[in-house]
Structure 1
Amino acid sequence: MNAMKRATAVLAAAAALFVAGCSSSGDGDDPGPSPDRTRPDSRKVSGMRGMTLPSWNTDDYGSPQAETYLRQIAATGARWVTFTPTWYQDRVTDTAMRVTEETAGDDSLRHIIGLAHDAGLKVMLKPHVDLTKGGDRAEIRPRDRDAWFRAYERFITHYAGLSRTTGVEQFSVGTELAGTSEDGEHWGHAIAAVRERYKGPLTYAANYDEYRKVAFWKDLDVIGVDAYWPLADKATSDPARLRRAWQPIAEELAAFSERQHRKILFTEAGYVSQRGSTTAPYSWTVSRRDGDAEQAAAYEALLAAFEGKPWWAGVCWWMWDDWPDSGETAKRLAYTPHGKPAEKVLRKWWGAS
């Protein structure tokens, strides 16, 4: 989920939107053998029952609230948590990305990974690149692609090394970079560099309208999709209707999985608790009206539609609570299921006591 898209949407909402109805270099791990790129890696990618806990500031992951959040996430029956350290570039044509005050500090990241493991949670690290001046990361199309990929390789291998030294169980090599993801050659080099530093399973988080165009699935272990498909043309809290809407999408994904010889993980999925959220799951600001029932129905429909399918590798929901004083969307309207009917849905499906 694009942080700048989030901020832009919030500003738009403030203007009366209403719909009725890292500071160090790589860790220097020794290179290992290169895997066979023509087939999935032999490492098992287990079904994920996950929740994303994003970071918006340098010290979020080191805050006193971190341990509380992780224990709350584990209490839903989740077995995984995803963290999202983010670097930024100013314009879509820039040739490099950089650390800002919104980038999770490395020490805080190491801290929260340790806390997650202490709470019995496995970790996926999913580094993001966002834009400081608005816009969607999917529009990044650097004017000098060679230079951008050199910078991207420095960025992504830094976190690959950190993931290895902290025992991270799964790693995403990128998120929603549709403006570059058809470039299999450059991405192949970046993924090979990640493989030299990190030995666990790899994925890439493609947006729901991007995954068919990604040119490098053969280099990864699992296909990642950010599953923000619109499911309805008007607000609904009917899980059966929403489950029917998933049917043709599921058939398409099953066929794609078979062609690629890889399972599909929903690296993100989520719904704001606003009326109409199922019409635009990618939006932070569908309306100003509470939609707890619609959010819960959407959780129910997704889990009912995909749970147990042999080609499906699970889901990591977007997202748990915002950090104190950083939330731009009121909790009652935000993506979090915490304290809402959607959390009860998770507990039912995930077997929480």
Structure 2
Amino acid sequence: MNTGRRAAAALLAAALLLAGCSSGSGGEDGEEGPGPGPSGRTDDGKAAGLRGITLPSWNTGDYSSPEAAAYLRQIAATGARWVTFTPTWYQDGAADAGMHTTGETASDDSLRHIIGLAHGTGLKVMLKPHVDLAKGGDRAGIRPRDADAWFTAYERFITHYATLAADTGAEQLAVGTELAGTSRDGARWSKVVRAVRARYRGPLTYAANYDEYRTVPFWGDLDVIGIDAYWPLADRPTADAARLRDAWKPIMQELAAFSQRQHRKILFTEAGYVSQRGTTTAPYSWTVSKSGGEDEQAAAYEALLTALDGKPWWAGVCWWMWDDWPDTGETPRRLAYTPHGKPAEEVLRRRWHSAGTD
């Protein structure tokens, strides 16, 4: 989900409509995840048995705000074992050769603060840095005129967070998110991954969009395949969980085969549904309708967790997203992605608490 400019992303959602993190078997030991082996992947092919929720930031001080500790306690109360944080840099144009911080970029001090709070709450951490467009638009449209200069800047950006992840003990790191305009460049991305591994020894992933992952050539350099799982599941609004589970069947067949070919598990680095009528027709849209749809959101949560539970190739899910910070939400809370205080939260509590530590 292109988080830095949510309003712009919402405007793109209607056009995208026509375009064609929970594991029931992960235990406490499995959740920790082994370190990378000599081949650059985990020794047994496992990532974390991840039951997670993303807590994004929209401003430099969000992660050090008074609400941070309360949000983490709320996330842990769902049965989540992981939380994802998303520091974001921006570039002014899609063809520019570099990215920079803005007043919307989480400060390093705030990241260190909230990672410490997360660990103190008993949550493991995935750090998932984003690059967005300062004037809005889909980050998949980033296609630099000077690829060498852009990748040099990107390596500087991501190794900064690799060092921070290592220093704070973050348990997993995503080397990129939904950068489809660059992700086919396997040689340059492999160089970036090598630079990250020189600074951080935990498991690595890349968060490919659901329509991008097949064309990513550097999965072999990573420990787990990451997919932001926004597949449309219906052609009309529905709260029929059984129908939505059936919609996952062909997707799961494709993913199982892909996992087998790549010799890596698949982690849903993002998955989510707004509480709006029609969310299952366009899960990537912040503004699919103006009508509430908490029952449809809950059915979509239930369908994903039921359909994927126990699949040997599936490494888990990190849901998009928990609450917005005060005074930053562009979508009213009752219609937003958060499951907090909605039937979808009860789905998480029932599914994740019943899973226990197995």
* 3-state secondary structure, aligned to 1:273: coil
In structure 2, what is the equivalent of residue 349 of structure 1?
351
Instruction: Please tell me whether the aligned partners of residues 271 and 278 of structure 1 are also in contact (alpha carbons under 8 angstroms).
Output: yes
Q: Counterpart in 2 of 1:100? A: 102
Which of 72, 75, 90 pairs up with 1:73?
Answer: 75
Which runs of no fewer than 5 residues in structure 1 stay unpaired? 14-31
CA distances 1:173-201 after superposition (whole Å, capped 9, x unpaired)? 00000011111100000000000000000
What are the Cα deviations for residues 239-294 of structure 1, in whole angstroms up to 9, with x where unaligned?
00000000000000000000000000000000000000000000000000000000
Asked if the contact 1:266–1:313 (Cα under 8 Å) also holds between the matched residues in 2, the reply is: yes
2:38 to 35, 38, 45: 35
Matched residue type, 1:90 = D
Matches within 5 A, 1:248-263: 248-263=250-265
Where 1:130 maps in the other structure, the secondary structure is strand
Instruction: Name the structure 1 match of 2:205.
Output: 203
Instruction: Tell me the matched-pair count.
Output: 334
CA contact (8 A) 1:55 1:84 kept: yes
Displacement of 1:46: 2.4
8 A contact 1:34–1:196 mirrored in 2 = no
Equivalent pair of 1:291/1:333 in contact (CA under 8 Å): yes
Structure 1 residue 40: Cα displacement: 4.5
Distance 1:327 1:71 in 2: 20
Give, as a single letter, the amino acid of the residue that structure 1 aligns with 2:344: A
Q: Secondary structure at the match of 1:209?
A: coil
- Are the equivalent residues in 2 in contact too, given 1:34–1:195 (CA < 8 A)? no
> Matches of 1:156 and 1:211 in 2, distance apart?
20
Percentage of matched positions with identical amino acids? 75
Report if aligned partners of 1:41, 1:220 keep a CA contact under 8 Å in 2.
no
Q: Is the 8 A contact 2:46 2:315 kept in 1?
A: no
Which residue does the alignment assign to 1:315?
317
**2:274 aligned partner:** 272
Residue number among 124, 131, 134 corresponding to 2:126 in the alignment: 124
CA separation in 1, counterparts of 2:107 and 2:158?
15
**Aligned equivalents of 1:75, 1:335: Cα separation in 2:** 18
Q: Which runs of 5+ in 2 are unaligned?
A: 14-34
Q: For residue 188 of structure 2, what is the aligned residue in structure 1?
A: 186
CA distance in structure 2 between the aligned counterparts of 1:326 and 1:118, rounded to whole angstroms: 26
User: What residue is the counterpart of 2:6 in the other structure?
Assistant: 6
**Separation in 2, partners of 1:238, 1:33:** 41
Is 2:46–2:224's contact at 8 Å kept on the other side of the alignment? no
Q: Check 1:12–1:282 CA distance in 2 against 1; reply closer, same or farther (3 A cut).
A: closer
Could you tell me which amino acid in structure 2 is paired with residue 223 of structure 1?
I
1:133-172 matched pairs, under 5 angstroms? 133-172=135-174
Q: Is the contact made by 2:278 and 2:289 (CA closer than 8 Å) also made in structure 1?
A: yes
SS at match of 1:102: coil
Check 1:302–1:191 CA distance in 2 against 1; reply closer, same or farther (3 A cut): same
SS of equivalent residue, structure 1 residue 204: strand
Counterpart residue type for residue 204 of structure 1: Y
SS of 2:196 mapped into structure 1:
helix
**1:226–1:268 CA contact under 8 A, matched in 2:** yes
Give the secondary structure class of the aligned counterpart of 1:117. helix
Counterpart CA distance in 2 for 1:42 and 1:169 is 17
Q: Counterpart of 2:95 in 1: which secondary structure? A: coil
Q: How does 1:227-266 map to 2 (within 5 A)?
A: 227-266=229-268
Query: Which structure 1 residue ranges, 4+ long, deviate > 6 Å from structure 2?
Result: none
Q: Report SS of the residue matched to 2:57.
A: coil
The whole-number CA distance in structure 2 between the counterparts of 1:56 and 1:218 is 32
Tell me if the contact between 1:202 and 1:222 (Cα under 8 Å) persists in the aligned partners.
yes
- Whole-Å Cα distance in 1 between the matches of residues 275 and 146 of structure 2? 41
Checking the alignment, whether the CA contact within 8 Å between 2:36 and 2:203 is kept in structure 1 is: no
Does the CA-based 8 Å contact 1:175-1:204 persist in structure 2?
yes
CA RMSD for the aligned pairs? Answer: 1.8
CA deviations 1:206-265 (Å, max 9, x no partner) are: 000000000100000000000000000000000000000000000000000000000000
Structure 1: how far apart are the matches of 2:4 and 2:121? 31
Q: Which residue of 1 aligns with 2:57?
A: 55
TM-score (normalised: structure 1): 0.92
Task: Give distance in 2, aligned partners of 1:63 and 1:40.
Answer: 36
